[in-house]
Structure 1
Amino acid sequence: MSEKTIVAIMYDFDRTLSTRDMQEFSFIPRLGMDSAEFWSFANDLGTREHMDSVLAYLYAMVRMSEQRGIPLRRSQLVEMGRSVEFFDGVEDWFDRVNAFGRECGVTVEHYIISSGMKEIIEGTKIADKFRSIFACEFLYDSSGKPVWPKTDVNYTNKTQFVYRINKGVLDVENDLDLNRSMPDDSKRVPFCNMIYIGDGLSDVPCMKMMKAYGGYSIAVYQDRKKVEALLERNRVDFIYPADYREGSGLDVTVRNIIRKMAISDVLFHENAAQKRGQE
């Protein structure tokens, strides 16, 4: 088997790996607000101003901090990542999956594609498990104060990051190489070697992309009713409780997908070798 065979697992973050939206663990309580109040303000702002919903919540974070005289700094957002809580099994999931990949002869890489805050994710216990974290981010001045949205990962543009992983163009500044035509056999991670794990409608564009191009998509849930329609409408391959522990349904299926990808790669290279032998 080729040593370059890579399996990429891509994750949403909020309610996929973490049990709640990441702002709800520290940021919103710090404002003296409850979650419903904060998200209502952000959502109403977006509706009223015909605004991208992600940009609306980023603005709400800055505005509400300023109104309450509470400084918002990058270092504080990173520190807030320490309070994020994860579903059962998440914290040791990545090492277990990586080890299984090695047993199968492939390299497993993990990526975040999230509309949440990159700074908060960077402060979590699992931040070092990802090859890249694609998420919303502020531009900061010399004091660490946010002055402008630097990256906006909304529900539809999530798919660009799938293409970045596919081509190995992980620098979000590099659009030239991202848009450059590239033969399929030279792309770093084929779509058929990708798995996307998310929790709902915001992940549908990436999930449908996986189904269209030969990868796999999995919806995890706390309430099964919220994702059943995704399965019924053929928008996702599998649905499972958000349980990442060894032996769970999610764990077994991801292992089986990795095993299938590894076997497919073996057969591909065997076929290529035979064709070369006939030349």
Structure 2
Amino acid sequence: MNTNLLSKYLVDSKYLSGIIYFEELYSTNAYSKKIYHELKDNTIVLTSYQTNGTGRFGRPWKSNRNENLTFSLIKDYGLRIDEIHLMNFYTSYILYLTLNETSKDCSEHDLYLKWPNDLLLNRKKIAGILLDVKDMNSDMKKFIIGIGLNVNQEIFPEDINSKATSMKNEFKCEFMIEMILINFIKLFNENLCLLNQGDILMKLWKSKSNVIGKKVKFKQLDDGREAEVVVMDIDNDGGLIVSDVSGKTCKFYSGEISILYDE
């Protein structure tokens, strides 16, 4: 990882206040949570190899050494408790824009946002976001935004091979990880006004998602129940509005969906 290049484009130009880099680290989010009170706004914790990365619900995030982008961004921001979900949707939207800017071929591929915090490329997962929030009772909350993006990894473990992909696998070329990170941080900082325009942000997010109107398998994580439902909408409060086979409409704020494709 060329940290000198990152510092030149991000720290010297004031997009970031600092970069903490490890060649190897158990988890950028776990590390950030341990020392969050020491971390300044707009700091990133970055590693070339995350040995014990996790996604939602503590699931392992498997990533090869030097092939992917794994980092946590520390962001101080004044959102109300009922607005916290906006940071999650904002981050995934900015990551979507980053991939579009990084590869102009994205428009020729199926790149979509998946509720609530994943990116799918050609129906496979290419990125995930894990959000932790500190100082919840403060007006200015500290967000720890963990991001994992599969960039140049070609071979995935057997248990996720049919579900995961990378930019290299889909676009048939190698990408410079540093430039992806630079583009993401710049776009993140330049579009922060969207966090104060929740309705507009959610409308933009939904325009980059293909789940509305689709039949999906929905799994409730608290009790493990599964059901086939149709996604009717995603509310501005982040809730997933679904209709079951009887026509009953419900709204969920957590859970997991799998799109049921016709083919």
TM-score (norm 2): 0.28
Larger strand share, 1 or 2: 2
TM-score (norm 1): 0.27
Task: Give the structure, 1 or 2, with the largest relative contact order (CA under 8 Å, sep 6 or more).
Answer: 1
